[in-house]
Amino acid sequence: MQQEREQRAGAPRGRRRRRDEVLQVAAELFAEKGFEGTSTTDIADALGIKGGSIYYYIESKEALLFELMEDIYGLLLGALREILESDAETLDKLARLIDLHVVGMAEHRHRGALILNETRSLSAEHRAVVDRYATAYEDGLAGVIAQGQREGVIDPELDAKLVTKALLGAGNWINRWYREGGTWSPGDLASQYARIFLAGLAPTELDRLRPIR
């Protein structure tokens, strides 16, 4: 989303690179100190530039927060769309969606922390946009789970929306404890999470004998 804005504006490559640095530093500071606890001066200091210079790259601190959330949701929703439109089997789609969320939260943990903790800091207009992104993301995952239930490959007694919240909640918690360079890579985590959830969602023998609703 941000890349499209930069291309339309015809921003020089050097300025785009600097903006990327601003976004990265802001994401880290917002995640570590909180949005309210971080000033634009803090961001400028971390970048080694004068305080007022930061406004060459951003409109406001709140607009910067919104842009960071747009970035992470742009990544997640774009990948979600590709998975949903693929010809993969339903359980394969679900495994790929688990991979998407787990790897996304591990590799982009600072931006992930913002969508979990800082939506309250957005303006009402921006918060409404982010809420729509979150709903679209949850609905996409819930739809795959419901499809698996209709096909008889996922336990039909489970509530698809509750399963979705449990899956996302487990993935979101990675944001709290995962650190790069630790015991597990993002791919390792995704593989383990997929095994845990796919095994737990499988129908029992009794379920297989029941007619699919």
More confident site: 144 or 202: 144
Say whether both 183 and 201 belong to one domain: yes
pLDDT digits (tens, 9 = 90+) for 162-179: 999 999 999 998 888 888
Q: Can you give the CATH number for the domain in which 104 is found?
A: 1.10.357.10
Say whether both 69 and 126 belong to one domain: yes
Provide the domain count of the chain: 2
Say whether both 101 and 130 belong to one domain: yes
Say whether both 122 and 17 belong to one domain: no
Q: How far apart are CA 78 and CA 124, in angstroms?
A: 24
How many of the other CB atoms lie within 10 Å of CB of 126? 18
Q: What is the mean pLDDT of residues 30-59?
A: 92
Residue 52: pLDDT band by 50, 70, 90 thresholds?
confident
Q: How far apart are CA 136 and CA 23, in angstroms?
A: 24
Say whether both 108 and 164 belong to one domain: yes
pTM, full prediction: 0.83
Percent of the chain exceeding pLDDT 70 equals 89
Lowest mean pLDDT among 1-10, 26-35, 68-77, 155-164: 1-10
Say whether both 107 and 68 belong to one domain: yes
Q: Which two tokens stand for residue 151?
A: 């096909």
pLDDT computed for residue 9 by the predictor = 47
Say whether both 165 and 193 belong to one domain: yes
CA nearest to 93, candidates 153, 134, 170: 153
Say whether both 22 and 99 belong to one domain: no
Q: How far apart are CA 194 and CA 191, in angstroms?
A: 5
Say whether both 71 and 38 belong to one domain: no
3-state secondary structure (DSSP) of residue 210: coil
Say whether both 29 and 101 belong to one domain: no
Structural domain for 8, as ranges: 1-58
Say whether both 98 and 160 belong to one domain: yes
Q: How far apart are CA 141 and CA 180, in angstroms?
A: 26
Instruction: Pick the last residue of a domain from 39, 58, 77.
Output: 58
Q: How far apart are CA 18 and CA 59, in angstroms?
A: 15
pLDDT digits (tens, 9 = 90+) for 71-120: 999 999 999 999 999 999 999 999 999 999 999 999 999 999 999 999 99
